[in-house]
Each structure stands twice: as C-alpha cells, then as structure tokens.
Amino acid sequence: QKEVEQNSGPLSVPEGAIASLNCTYSDRGSQSFFWYRQYSGKSPELIMFIYSNGDKEDGRFTAQLNKASQYVSLLIRDSQPSDSATYLCAVRSSSASKIIFGSGTRLSIRP
Amino acid sequence: EAQVTQNPRYLITVTGKKLTVTCSQNMNHEYMSWYRQDPGLGLRQIYYSMNVEVTDKGDVPEGYKVSRKEKRNFPLILESPSPNQTSLYFCASSWAGTDTQYFGPGTRLTVL
C-alpha cells in the first residue's frame, strides 16, 4: 500500500463546476497535509495546507481533513481552465521531517 | 527576488560519469530537500537537511550523496550515475517549523 494515494485521473470537469480531488494516507500519526498544484513542465506550487480536522477555505479552494478516515480532499469551486494542472497531495510524516507526496491527480477543466 | 535556483536545468550524461546538481536559495531557509519525479510515482524525497551539516535520508537515497556546508547551498551528487537515475529533480527549501516549501525550477537528467 502506498503511503499517500491519489487517483491519477485525468479528472475532467466543466468550467464553472466544482472539482473534487481526493487523497488517502496510511500513517495515522501524520500531522500536516498539503495540496500542491503543478502545471506541465513547471515546479510544484503550494496552494493549501491543513492541520486540523474539518474544512479550511481560501478563495475558491477548500481543503477538507478527516483524520479518523485518513482522508484529505481539495474542492475547487467555479473551476476555470487555468485550474487545469496536476494536483499533488502531500503529508508530513509522524517523524515530522519527511514529506511524502502522492503521485498526483491530473485535472482538466473543459470550457 | 526570493528564489531557489538549480543548475544545470538540463543534463545528458553517460553511465558512471560523476555529476553534481547545484541548488541555492536566497531566503535564509534552514530546511532544504531534494526530490525526484517520475511518471506515475510522483515526487519522492531523496535527502533532506534541517540545517548546516545536518542531513538525512529520504525515501530513495541510494546512489545519491548530499552535503550542506553552507546554509544557502545543498548540492546533489551522483558519484556513478546509472540509467535508472534518469528523472526530473527538484530542490526545495523552507524555514524551519513552517510548511511552505519553495521549489526550484527542476533539473531534467538523462543518463545514457
């Protein structure tokens, strides 16, 4: 079992709709959870982090964390073509030094 | 401008020829890290450093070396590169105790 799992996609969502990206992790002691966006040929860029159970909102982005289910998700409201990218879920391990990435979900917003 | 730089950006080399990929940051970050990115495998951590002279292995350290003699620099050394080290490499840095990592532009390495 991979430590951080994501559906590779591609996930195709119509413009203006809500895109929902999901991630599960295996280390129950994980403390910090991140979502990175990576455009093709570019480096990853941090868009959200979340530490506590529940929702965290930042503009059109909402991160959701459920530690009991070991599940973290990212919602993108009012999806735009510029949101088309690969989204990487990352988890800081219980040792607090290592950050483990999922393999990413490719999101495509169709006009 | 605050940034993480990597050199070279592209490199084609042959098996066994030692190489170094440099990483430098100008933000006085304590934490620096190297990742490799391969299709379907995502980003995997190679080595990380919590501060000068403090380094530790990540998930895939075999075949790589690092050093942290100065705070701003964290070179990645491949003593004897092999074709399975063909990959896209990213350096990243952050302040200690924070979670916002800044990534360099990447180095695409091909080992023939």
Of A4, A43, A46, the CB nearest to B90: A43
Higher pLDDT among residues A72 and A111, named by residue: A72
Does any CB of chain A come closer than 8 Å to the CB of residue B99? yes
Say if residue B30's pLDDT is above 80. yes
Cβ–Cβ below 8 Å for B45 and A98:
yes
- Beta strands of chain B (E only): which ranges? 4-7, 10-13, 19-25, 31-38, 42-51, 54-57, 65-66, 76-78, 87-94, 102-103, 107-111
Residues 6+ apart with CB under 8 A from B97: none
Interface test with B, best of A21, A56, A101 (most B CBs within 10 A): A101
Convert the pLDDT of each residue in A59-93 to its tens digit.
999 999 999 999 999 999 999 999 999 999 999 87
| B3 contact A CB<8A | no
Give per-residue pLDDT as tens, A12-66: 999 999 999 999 999 888 889 999 999 998 999 999 999 999 999 999 999 999 9
**B86 and B109 in contact (C-beta within 8 Å)?**
yes
Residue A103 has its nearest CB partner, among B41, B59, B105, at B41
Q: Is A40 exposed, middle or buried (0-12, 13-18, 19+ CB in 10 A)?
A: exposed
| Residues B85, B13: Cα–Cα separation, whole Å | 11
Q: Can you say whether the dihedral through the CA atoms of A75, A57, A98, B13 is positive or negative?
A: positive
Please count the other Cβ atoms lying within 10 Å of the Cβ belonging to residue B31: 22
Q: Do A101 and B106 touch (CB under 8 A)?
A: no
The mean pLDDT of B31-42, rounded to a whole number, is 92
Which residue type occupies B41?
L
> Which residue matches tokens 């006009």?
A111
**Average pLDDT score over residue span B10-31:** 96
What is the model's pLDDT at position A1? Answer: 61
At B1 the pLDDT is: 82
Please report, for residues A105, B42, B85, the alpha-carbon distance to residue B5 in angstroms, rounded to integers and kept in the order given.
26, 21, 21
Query: Residues of B with CB below 8 A from A99's CB?
Result: 33, 45, 101
Q: Which residues have CB under 8 Å from A57's CB, separation 6+?
A: none
Nearest CB to A32; choose among B59, B99, B105: B99
pLDDT surpassing 80 at residue A95:
no
Q: Cβ neighbours of residue B81 under 8 Å, at least 6 residues apart?
A: B13, B15, B16, B17, B18, B19, B63, B109, B111
Q: Which residue has the higher pLDDT, A3 or A89?
A: A89
